[in-house]
Structure 1
Amino acid sequence: MDAMDLKLHQCFIAVDDHDKAIAFYRDVLGLEVRNDVGFEGMRWVTVGSPLQPDVSIVLEPPAASPDFSPADREAMAQLLAKGVLRGVIFTTESCDALYAKVEESGADVLQEPMDQPYGVRDCAFRDPAGNVLRFMERAA
């Protein structure tokens, strides 16, 4: 298999309240909701950018795997509550415009827009579950 054949299809972000997550990812960031599925008391919501129809983010419960023990589930919920689980990095045409819109929503600001020495301008927020999301604009 050639690595050139590989493309990202889905990534996963743990959330503790899907309704709040949908309000943020859809209503604030402008992603489309592509799927909303419940199974055995859990819920998975798939969102994605209209600009990338073949790439999706699955908003899943913490420790969604059936192989997790109750102790593992509790540990994951605690890590999510602390905001230490990794999120994703988005690109945008205007970091400053995106920052203004997300800040206006009341999201938790981690970093205002700034030029980084590695050639991007970026900012960072926490989503409603505490995940760190970064938004970067390539420097001109």
Structure 2
Amino acid sequence: MIKETPMVKSIQSVLIFVSDMDRSVTFYRDVLGLSVLSSNPAITEFEMGGITFGLQYMPAGARNNGMAVTIDFAVDDIQAMIDKLEAKGVAFVAKELDQPFNKLAKFQDPDGNLLGFIEQTA
């Protein structure tokens, strides 16, 4: 009998660390428009297409470089999302809107975590 090689099937959840839970929940809920599944002072979870996206409280200065993360959100209309976030005061650190296969825009959350939008064009 041939034994199958174990494989990763999909991403189940993504968790990022934040220093101010209230400020971060406001950003992800009110600026990005994510729906809160559950929340307490230590962890807040949002649902995104079958993946749990969570925020976990960690005091400022307690993180190390091994905890850095970049998250890119798939969108259908990147310019509309850029306009929406800029209207709410979000500054973009990069916009690459003329790439051959996708459009990309990067911004930061209140803790400086790098986030992005990707619109597939090909």
Using the size of structure 2 for normalisation, the TM-score is 0.82
Equivalent in 50, 70, 83 of residue 100 of structure 1 = 83
Give unmatched runs, 5+ long, in structure 2: none
Query: What is aligned with 1:37?
Result: 40
SS of residue in 2 equivalent to 1:76? coil
Q: Which amino acid aligns with 2:22?
A: D
Instruction: State the distance in 1 between where 2:23 and 2:37 align.
Output: 16
Deviation at 1:106, TM superposition (A): 1.0
Query: What is aligned with 1:9?
Result: 12
Per residue, is there more helix in 1 or in 2?
Answer: 1
Report the identity percentage: 27
Using the size of structure 1 for normalisation, the TM-score is 0.72
Runs of 4+ in 1 over 6 A off after TM superposition: none
2:55 equivalent to 1:55: no
Q: What does 1:1-140 align with in structure 2 at a 5 Å threshold? A: 3=7, 6-38=9-41, 43-49=42-48, 52=49, 54-62=50-58, 74=61, 76=63, 85-117=68-100, 119-140=101-122
Q: Which amino acid aligns with 1:92?
A: V
Instruction: State the distance in 2 between where 1:99 and 1:23 align.
Output: 18
Instruction: State the distance in 2 between where 1:138 and 1:18 align.
Output: 32
Instruction: State the distance in 1 between where 2:70 and 2:19 align.
Output: 14
Number of equivalenced pairs: 117
RMSD, matched Cα: 2.4
Contact 1:107 1:128 (C-alpha < 8 Å) held by counterparts: no
